[in-house]
Amino acid sequence: MDTAATFANFGHDLSYEKLPRRVVEITKKLILDELGVMVVGSSSAGIDRLLALATNWGGKPEAGVLVHGVRMPAQHAALINATMGRAYDFDALHEGSIVHASAGSLPQCLALAERRGRVSGRELITAMSLGMEFMIRLGLSFQESFLHTGRVTSVHHTTFGGALAGAKLLNLGPRAIVSALGLAYTQIGGNLQNVIEGTAVAQLQQGFAAQTSVLSAVLAEAGVQGPERVFQGEYGYYKTYHDDKYWAENLTRSLGEEFEVCDISIKYFPTCFLTHYANDAMIQMVASRKFAASDIAGINVRVTKGVSKLVGTPIEAKRAPKNTQEALFSLPYTVAVAAVHGSVTLEHLTVEAINNAQVRALAQKVTVVIDDELERKRGRALGSSMVEVKLKNGAQFSQFSDIVKGHPTNPMSFADCEDKFWNCVRSSGNPLDKNKLERLVERVRKLETVEDVSELCTSLECNVPRTKQECPGMREA
């Protein structure tokens, strides 16, 4: 049986009552986390232009763009909301599969929930956890990471997973769900070139995936048929994109009994996850060794090949990011920030922060080194890092990190996610109603009792949303 049929049947039969309590609780945390990330992304560079373009397209007002309050066709709302959700790369990630699970599911689910109407909190939790489970298992099946191929399969995963979640919300039958996945297959894309060049298209790719997911589910609902042998067909996904090299057992092992969504990391730092372990190691070292950034003569960061390739090279460019997008994917910059400030926060992604003379000077002293032992042991993982510091007085220190705050073994609590949510709201600069936001947080906490999740969207509307040019908290070069 093709994987599309397997998950169509599984998804169709899945109910809220079949979800373990742990899955429900992590999904609620992921929803609150992603809502906050979309709020801060609402004032990021380029969103104003994307919003103006989509508004000009017109169409039926099916779903809203969060914060901005503009209503448009569901696929267009998903396009913008998902792009906002990846704007600062602050969204949750499943490390083993390299999947941006919440950014790859919540925007689609909210858009289709508003389009359908009267979608309950239980339905949202079920559809979103289903979509995330599918995309993660797809990622775990691949034998070669996109960090080496350049094909951003994490965007592929979220396109498929988002389509499955959308089909679930639309109450499609198994055959129509397969069509939704087949239609999604005809539209997938994504590459690393835009990341290497430091363009905002890295975030827009997430928007494209969301738009495709919604469109695929809606087309299937309308009776449009896609291919059935989506994954194992003669020219199916695995043959076309992976030369049939994949671990089939990872797709269905303990399906319905064990849920990979429980291993999603909720990000503590607002940067590419590949920088997190080095950031954490540097912060630990500064706190324990009590040296100042001005005492540092040089910094070596030992990482795997994939980490070095994406956030460590070309080293000259990574040491001198020109804008927020480049800073997000710069290991020398984020490590220098951690050394100077003892933290890495949204405040360190403004144009003023990026041009901080002390940080930029220290970034020039950061060298990224591929560690063969780390590669052998942790090559599949995203970020385990060893940071080595040499001081001007000759003293040398090192710190290893392979578990950061937000990791499944060191998870963020709902209270931690709430703190992050409010930090995102403050950093966005948007005049949102505090009373509505407090109610929103409580509604997410008790989401299984909510009768209509559209209220989550209306709680995040403001009368005068700020754009990139107007927002003092998150200006970008």
- Rounded CA gap, 349 and 347, in Å? 5
Question: How would residue 474 be classed by pLDDT, with cut points 50, 70 and 90?
Answer: very low
In which element (H, E) is residue 369 found?
strand 366-370
Is the pLDDT assigned to residue 222 strictly greater than 80?
yes
Q: Give the mean model confidence (pLDDT) for residues 356-383.
A: 88
Percent of the chain scored above 70 by pLDDT? 96
What pLDDT digit, counting tens, does each position of 312-326 carry? 999 999 999 999 989
Q: What is the mean pLDDT of residues 78-103?
A: 94
Secondary structure in 3-state letters for 39-87: HHHCCCCCHHHHHHHHHHHCCCCCEECCECCCEECHHHHHHHHHHHHCC
- 368 has which bridge partners? 301
pLDDT at 157 over 90: yes
Q: What percent of the chain has pLDDT over 90?
A: 83
What integer best gives the mean pLDDT of the chain?
A: 93
Average confidence (pLDDT) over 393-399: 97
Helix (H) or strand (E) holding 450: none
pLDDT, residue 380, reads 63
- CB contact at 8 A, 77 and 63: yes
- Mean of the pLDDT values across residues 247-263? 97
Question: Which residues, 6 or more positions from 123, have their beta carbon under 8 angstroms from its beta carbon?
Answer: 16, 113, 169, 453
Residue 125 to residue 418: CA distance in whole angstroms: 18
Interatomic CA distance for residues 440 and 459, integer angstroms: 6
Angle between helical axes of 21-41 and 106-116 (0-180°, round to 10): 90
pLDDT band at 145 (very low <50, low <70, confident <90, very high): confident
Per-residue pLDDT of 165-189, as tens digits, reads 999 999 999 999 999 999 999 999 8
Burial of 436 per CB tally in 10 Å (0-12, 13-18, 19+): middle
Q: Over 90: is that where the pLDDT of 306 sits?
A: no
Considering only residues 27 and 431, tell me which one the structure prediction assigns the higher pLDDT. 27
pLDDT at 429: 83
Question: Is 272's pLDDT higher than 80?
Answer: yes
273 within 8 A of 346, measured Cβ to Cβ: no
Q: Report the pLDDT value the prediction gives residue 472, as an integer from 0 to 100.
A: 31
pLDDT of 214 higher than 90: yes
Is 467 a residue whose pLDDT tops 70? no
The distance in angstroms from the start CA to the end CA of the chain is 51
User: Residues 50-75: what's their mean pLDDT?
Assistant: 96
Residue 229: name the closest of 239, 220, 243, 242 by CA: 239
Is residue 386 helix, strand or coil?
A: strand
Q: What is the mean pLDDT of residues 244-262?
A: 96
Q: Find all residues with CB under 8 Å of 372, minimum gap 6, and list them.
A: none
Reply yes or no on whether the pLDDT at 58 is more than 50: yes
**What average pLDDT score do residues 431-446 get?**
95
Q: Are strands 366-370 and 296-303 parallel, antiparallel or unpaired?
A: parallel
The residue assigned the tokens 């030992």 is 302
For residues 270 and 336, is the Cβ–Cβ distance under 8 A?
no
Tokens of 218: 């809606």
Average pLDDT over residues 86-107: 94
Predicted pLDDT at 464: 57
CA dihedral 322, 194, 345, 86 (to 10 degrees): 140
pLDDT of amino acid 113: 98
In angstroms, the CA 442 to CA 136 distance is 28
